[in-house]
Amino acid sequence: MTSHTLSFFSWKKKRDKYLEIVKVQSKNTTTYVVNLFSRSLVILLRIWVFTQLYTVTYRVAGATRIDDFTLPMLIWTLMITQSFQNSTRPYVARIIEEEVKTGSLAYTLNRPYSYLLFHYAGFLGRILPSLLTNILVGIGVCLILVGPITFTLSGLAGGTVLLILGYLIEFSLMLSIGLLSFWVEDVSAFVWIYTKGQLVLGGVLLPLTLFPDYLRKITEMLPFAAVFYTPAKLMVSFQPETFWYYLTIQLFWVLLSILTAVFLYRKGIKHVSINGG
Amino acid sequence: MNILSAMEYRVTFFLQVIGMFINDIALILIWVIFFAQFPMINGWTLQDSILLMSMVTFIFGIVHVFSGGSRELAKTITQGELDYYLTYPKNVLWHVSISRTDISALGDMLFGLVLFCFSGNISLEKIFLFLTISLFVAFILFNFLTITQSLSFFFGNFEDAAEALYQSMMGFSLYPQTSFYGFLKVIMMTVLPAFFIVTIPVNIIKTFDLLSFLLLLGFALVTFLLAVLVFYKGLQKYESGNLINLKM
């Protein structure tokens, strides 16, 4: 056997290892169907609330379009953003925090796989079933409440590319927050600040379309909007120049967040002390 | 005792309290941005949202400081940790509820009180009304948590579903209350009683109305009776998990 063949099989074995983790976490997420659909219930109620709130808002503004978005387009954007964001629970940061507090970190660190890739595989396994149910329920609710809108193939394709990168940013940032537990043990405060950043500046609660122009331009450059809002917005309203602009911002945050996570892991692993017993 | 125990870890304690304070500032910031663009929504203004947020954060703080265990009841039931409380000659529901204190909720209580000072409703009478109404509303929130979390006795693993119901109900409390209508309002008055947790209390503080106050008291009493019924009916179905549970 050549060295190329050996390294291919070695890579395949490693890939299969992480694929198994994805499958296990996926199965875990779908075992309790009530829990799975309860997250979608949150989406349903939020979209209903948004529809009523923003119907009144558009009426008060006396407008049929705000920043070129009609009410149905706005609601669909919010639904997609909420579906993306809601599928990321439980947060990676909380899982790592729990590992540190319970001491199960001792087992996960000693296993024959990369700690960071292990959590990434788990993250992917958890989001896939939740995302599917959220989107299906969300589509149903939007069709009933505001009716359909027109999607384009380029919008869906471009939005999907941005979504994949968005999830990578979300994972890396949450991982970085979780790794802080190697120092402070309880990372709740950092999780709240980050999730509230998404809520306020990430278009999860209040679409950036409704922000004043100067504030919208600033928030679109921050990681909070890059994670879920810009993919959702592009899916609903695709423009090639906007796609490249958002992609550039995302690539910057992908690089910075991954480097931060790797740096924190390498520093943090030296801080970990495990008490046997 | 829970608070003193948490204060042993000073850094974590202050991080949680300050973090929650910042968290709550972010929530009001959304509405500052929104109302800067749209000053009034069906008669609802930024001042009303400030009053609403002050009440919500304050009552959230009360429930999570004094009965933090109620939000984790489903987890306690599912993981068989209820056995520990059954061995004590104390009321089980009360004991489970006070077993845990969410330290960060102190930040919520502090924020709620500070924010109330900016709601344009400051007078001794209004402060007294705010504190009194908050206690009753916190009681309603506790009852809601007990009912939804106790469903775990009947449905098995109901943790995520109970949390989703809670998040949905609290979600209603973030928005201008005058924008809701139709069947959504019916849901807010029944299954997810945000109407009694935010709408009525805010209206009472703005303009005191004895009928609304009595309605609030009545709802608190009815939900308490329902909470006790659901919990103790569920407890009859509880099966021990033989988990060895050590509380230190």
Minimal Cα–Cα distance from A61 to chain B, Å?
A: 7
Domain ranges of chain B: 2-237
**Would the ipTM clear 0.95, i.e. be above it?**
no
Do B91 and B248 touch, CB atoms closer than 8 A?
no
As given in the structure block, the two tokens for residue A72 are 């149905």
Residues of B in contact with A200 (CB under 8 A): 26-27, 29-30, 33
pLDDT value, residue B239: 75
pLDDT value, residue A170: 96
As given in the structure block, the two tokens for residue B215 are 């309605």
- Could you read off the pLDDT of A204-218 as tens digits, one per residue? 888 898 888 899 999
Report the candidate in A176, A149, A120, A173 with the shortest Cα–Cα distance to residue A233: A149
The answer to whether the CB atoms of A212 and B41 lie below 8 A apart is no
pLDDT band at B9 (very low <50, low <70, confident <90, very high): low
Task: State pTM to two decimals.
Answer: 0.86
Beta bridge mates, A267 = none
CA distance B92 to B160: 23
Domain ranges of chain A: 28-271
CA distance A243 to A161: 10
pLDDT value, residue A172: 96
Report the candidate in B152, B122, B126, B110 with the shortest Cα–Cα distance to residue B21: B110
SS3 state at B41: strand
Distances (CA, A) of A92 to A170, A176, B8: 9, 9, 27
> Does position B7 have pLDDT exceeding 60, yes or no?
no
Rg for chain A, CA atoms, rounded = 20
**Which of A36, A192, A211 is facing B33, going by the closest CB pair?**
A211
As given in the structure block, the two tokens for residue A31 are 């075992």
- Count of CB pairs separated by less than 8 Å, A with B: 118
As given in the structure block, the two tokens for residue A51 are 């529809």
Residues of B in contact with A53 (CB under 8 A): 41, 175-176, 179
pLDDT band at B14 (very low <50, low <70, confident <90, very high): confident
A103: phi > 0 → left, psi -120 to 50 → alpha, else beta; which? left
Looking at chain A, the whole-number percentage of residues with pLDDT higher than 70 is 94
The answer to whether the CB atoms of A34 and B157 lie below 8 A apart is yes
